[in-house]
Chains A and B, each alone.
Chain A
Amino acid sequence: MKFKDKLKSNKFLITAELFPPKGTDISFFSKRADCLLNSGVDAVNVTDNQRASMRTSSLAMCKILADKGIEPILQLTARDRNRIALQSDLLGASVLGIENVLILSGDHPKFGDYANAKAVYDLDTIQLIKTTKMLGSGFDLAGKKLCGSPNFCVGAVVNPTAYPNEMQVLMFEKKIKAGAEFFQTQTVFDVEIFKAFYDKVKSFGVKVLAGVMLIKSAKSLSFFQNLPGVTVPKEIQKKIASSSVALKDGIDICAQTIKQLRQFADGVHIMSIGMEELIPEIINKS
């Protein structure tokens, strides 16, 4: 069953994500991807120049996944391309058989290797979601008719931990109005915070996959804590700080979080940052 159809089922959905290589050697990417074959993962995101640092295109790497029989979710940010390039890439993705796209604003260039790069934002996220749906109706943003049109399943992002939270709830609804068919969230460590958010939006009937992160070490935890909008509960901080087996604890925390989410949520999006070989274990334990 395709991801798009699974969204209509009652299945607890699991997505993972891979970073494209920085360069043309895809062997590491390929090995990570192979770990996700038959692992219980329903689809795999490929990030789009995450943290505003340049990498190989998400589009190319999505095609590699598709060829392996893994269903890709193309991440597409509004940061680097104008409306011509965005639409062109979307059509290209469709031609290559990519059917899922996750629209996001993208980390600001200030965070990456190119602090002075032009932050394009020719379209904002809502406009880009609408544009993607519009291509599906057979017309481009300029109203010109397409010869052959894509049929994307469009996802969007929401941050359940951002305060004021009500603004994210409004954005959730606004993104659905624009055409969003599923959501993935920024990392949640605290299931209660996610639940409070989820309770406010579940009546919309659009699936929300909670973002969960694998903590690999005390160092990686402190990195996450410094990311915008991430809150880590005190117990987790303490546990990892004093642990001699941080990775093992990280796996347990991740599995435990998923287990709790299975009780009520629609699914999870697992961010394992280069340790995809651990995902089957995490899923088994959850």
Chain B
Amino acid sequence: MIITEKKQKEALLQSLKGFDKLFLTACGGCAAKSLTADEKSVKEIMDFLVSNGKTILESAVIESVCDMRLVKKTLSRNENMQKADVVVALSCGAGVQSIESVLKEKNIIPALDSKYIGSTKRIGIYKKFCSVCGSCILDQTQGICPRTRCAKSLVNGPCGGFVNGKCEIDQNTDCAWVLIYEKLKNNGKCQDFLNQYVVPL
């Protein structure tokens, strides 16, 4: 799923300067699951905005904001939406833009920062495994993505900086290529690695 983070409250307030009547949208998909647009987060942000003098006309949860059809169905004929000065969107950047493209004439302010596509280990702990490159090479890299998990996105083998299996830029992160190497070795694929060449994207 898309991992999002809440924007700093003060920064959000700053971008809402001059807008009084707000319409809040919260995504019930990834953002709700990663606890940036769940019920508690929506309430927290509403309380904050109200205490700073804003009027919230409505807050709507949309199951997946990235589905423009759903956005259209929920928002295009909504009366409160017609009255609102601005839409505050608790969703990823794609969600913000699906709202924008449905409600062309409305101002829209994102309340979240989109970070990456992550897999959930447990709530709050996400692993960045894929950077949606458009040309998957996991078949050649033992199921471990060096485009994403190597700090230099080296796709044909490691740099010389790994120390005891950890990446040169962070001693707490495994070097993706050492992980790949361990599997190559165990699966008897080192020769295949030598002969394979991943072309530039």
Please, which residue of chain B has its CB at the minimum distance from the CB of A231? Answer: B163
Q: Is the CB of B200 within 8 A of A123?
A: yes
Stretch in A88-96, A162-170, A240-248, A261-269 with 4+ CB within 8 Å of B:
A162-170
Could you tell me which residues of chain A, from 144 to 172, have a CB within 8 Å of some CB in chain B?
Answer: 157-159, 162-164, 166-168, 170-171
Could you tell me which residues of chain B, from 132 to 175, have a CB within 8 Å of some CB in chain A?
Answer: 151-165, 168-169
Q: Is the CB of B152 within 8 A of A79?
A: yes
Q: A108-B151, A108-B168 are in contact. Are A186 and B200 (CB under 8 A)?
A: no
Could you tell me which residues of chain B, from 56 to 88, have a CB within 8 Å of some CB in chain A?
Answer: none
Q: Tell me whether B199 is interfacial, beta carbon within 8 Å.
A: yes
For chain A, the count of residues having a C-beta within 8 Å of the partner chain is 36
Subset of 27 A-B contacts with CB under 8 Å: A105-B154, A106-B152, A108-B168, A121-B153, A123-B200, A124-B156, A124-B157, A125-B156, A125-B157, A126-B157, A127-B200, A130-B197, A141-B200, A159-B161, A162-B161, A162-B163, A164-B182, A166-B185, A168-B160, A170-B181, A171-B160, A173-B194, A174-B156, A174-B157, A178-B197, A186-B160, A229-B161
Which of chain B's residues have a CB closer than 8 A to the CB of A125?
Answer: 154, 156-157, 159
Could you tell me which residues of chain B, from 172 to 193, have a CB within 8 Å of some CB in chain A?
Answer: 177-178, 181-182, 185, 190, 193
Which of chain A's residues have a CB closer than 8 A to the CB of B181?
Answer: 164, 166-167, 170
Which of chain B's residues have a CB closer than 8 A to the CB of A105?
Answer: 152, 154, 159
Q: Tell me whether A177 is interfacial, beta carbon within 8 Å.
A: yes
Q: Is the CB of A162 within 8 A of B160?
A: yes
Q: Is the CB of B178 within 8 A of A167?
A: yes
> Majority SS of interface residues in chain B?
loop
From residue A200, how far is it (CB to closest CB) to chain B in Å?
Answer: 13
Which of chain A's residues have a CB closer than 8 A to the CB of B177?
Answer: 167
User: For the complex, what is the distance from the CA of A283 to the CA of B13, rounded to whole Å?
Assistant: 66
Task: Knowing that A164-B165, A229-B168 touch, tell me 19 more A-B residue pairs with CB under 8 angstroms.
Answer: A83-B200, A105-B152, A108-B151, A121-B152, A125-B154, A126-B156, A141-B200, A162-B162, A163-B163, A166-B181, A167-B162, A167-B178, A170-B181, A170-B193, A171-B158, A173-B194, A174-B156, A177-B194, A228-B162
Q: Is the CB of A121 within 8 A of B154?
A: yes
User: For the complex, what is the distance from the CA of A121 to the CA of B162, rounded to whole Å?
Assistant: 17
Q: Tell me whether A34 is interfacial, beta carbon within 8 Å.
A: no
From residue A47, how far is it (CB to closest CB) to chain B in Å?
Answer: 15
Q: A159-B160, A166-B185, A177-B194 are in contact. Are A228 and B152 (CB under 8 A)?
A: no
